[in-house]
Amino acid sequence: MTIELEQVTKRFGGREILKDLTLDISTDTSYLITGESGSGKTTLLRILAGLEKPDEGRVRLLGDYKYTWLSCGVVFQNDRLIEYLSAVKNVSVIRKLTSDKAAREELEKLLQKDLLDCPVSELTAVQRRMVCLVRAFSVPADILLLDEPFTGMDERERNEAIAYIREHKGSTPLVIASADPTGLETFKTIRLG
Amino acid sequence: MEQTGKETGKKEERDRLKDLREMMTVYRMPLWERTRYVYLPALLGKLKK
């Protein structure tokens, strides 16, 4: 499967955020989108997730593909967790087939056990990012889109998160938007702006 | 001043709901689960951080 972006342009309030962007996203490949703040990293991820439509150009799915939409695993720039629910419930609620037990097992790889049942509103920013990461990987996705997934993490936490990503991504195409390429040197880099 | 604070709070709540709606769309959450875990709690003011 390939997702082809052809001369994609996106404007907000008269300002061109993306201009004539042509790009192929292929299975088995990991991409790092870098660029300054405001260079269009989040916009590109939102277009790939189907949350924004390009003003010009087109996005096509090529290859043997069953549906007209993509199933995405997403880490949003802001967490978008359901604040009053626990980490376990935030993961299991998005997919009926993910039991609380399975969600707990996955979360334990990145978080301490005693944090899993308290409301996510009580977790630190980094712990919340870890919950978002597990949530993104808990759905059977055609593409993984991670927007600044390492925000606030120190070196150890970042390495843990990267190891989790590498272990779980399989052959699913992965796109990470991050201003910092540390630990992601093997990714195909696309610089915006 | 108090009114302004209330309005800001309402805007924050609307933005939070909008963000969650996008999240639920991306993850294709069924309508009854959206209602159970997000829309009804939003009405009860439980979505606040």
- Cβ of B46 under 8 Å from any chain A Cβ? yes
- Cβ of A179 under 8 Å from any chain B Cβ? no
Going from the C-alpha of A44 to that of each of A17, A24, A145, A149, B1, the distances in angstroms are 9, 12, 10, 15, 39
Count of CB atoms within 10 A of residue A168's CB? Answer: 18
Best B21, B24, B26 member to test A by mutation, with max A CBs in 10 Å, is B26
Q: Average pLDDT of chain B?
A: 87
In chain A, % of residues over pLDDT 70: 95
Residue A80: which pLDDT band, with cuts at 50, 70 and 90?
very high
Going from the C-alpha of A116 to that of each of A80, A90, A135, B49, the distances in angstroms are 17, 10, 13, 17
Q: What is the predicted pLDDT for the residue at A64?
A: 63
pTM of the model: 0.92
pLDDT, mean of residues B27-33: 91
Report CB contact under 8 Å: A95, B49: no
Residue of A nearest to B15 (CA): A80
Residue A1: which pLDDT band, with cuts at 50, 70 and 90?
confident
What do you get for the CA distance between the two ends of chain B, in Å?
22
* Contact of A82 with B20, CB cutoff 8 Å: yes
Residue of B nearest to A45 (CA): B26
Residue B13: which pLDDT band, with cuts at 50, 70 and 90?
confident
Q: What is the predicted pLDDT for the residue at B10?
A: 83
Q: Average pLDDT of chain A?
A: 93
Q: What is the predicted pLDDT for the residue at B49?
A: 66
* Contact of A43 with A10, CB cutoff 8 Å: yes
Instruction: Return the residue matching tokens 């299991």.
Output: A92
| CA dihedral over A127, A130, A135, A136, signed as positive or negative | positive
| Cα–Cα distance for residue pair B45/B23, rounded to 1 Å | 19
Q: What share of residues in chain A are helix, strand, coil (percent, to 5)?
A: 30, 30, 45
Taking only the tens place, the pLDDT of each residue in A144-153 is 999 999 999 9
pLDDT, mean of residues B3-28: 88
| Cα–Cα distance for residue pair B34/B29, rounded to 1 Å | 6
**A170 is written with which tokens?**
């399989």
Q: What is the predicted pLDDT for the residue at B20?
A: 97
* Cα torsion through A162, A168, A170, A174, rounded to 10: -50
- Cβ of B22 under 8 Å from any chain A Cβ? yes
Residue of B nearest to A73 (CA): B27
Which of B47, B28, B23 is closest to A96 using CA atoms?
B28
Q: What is the predicted pLDDT for the residue at B8?
A: 80
Report CB contact under 8 Å: A93, B25: no
Which residues pair with residue A65 across a beta bridge? none
* Nearest by CB: A83 against B23, B24, B48: B48
Best A84, A128, A138 member to test B by mutation, with max B CBs in 10 Å, is A84
Distance of residue B29 Cα from the nearest chain A Cα, in angstroms: 6
Which residues on chain A are in Cβ contact (under 8 Å) with B28? Answer: 71
Q: What is the predicted pLDDT for the residue at A7?
A: 96
Taking only the tens place, the pLDDT of each residue in A102-137 is 999 999 999 999 999 999 999 999 999 999 999 999
CA A119 to chain centre: 22
Q: What is the predicted pLDDT for the residue at A97?
A: 64
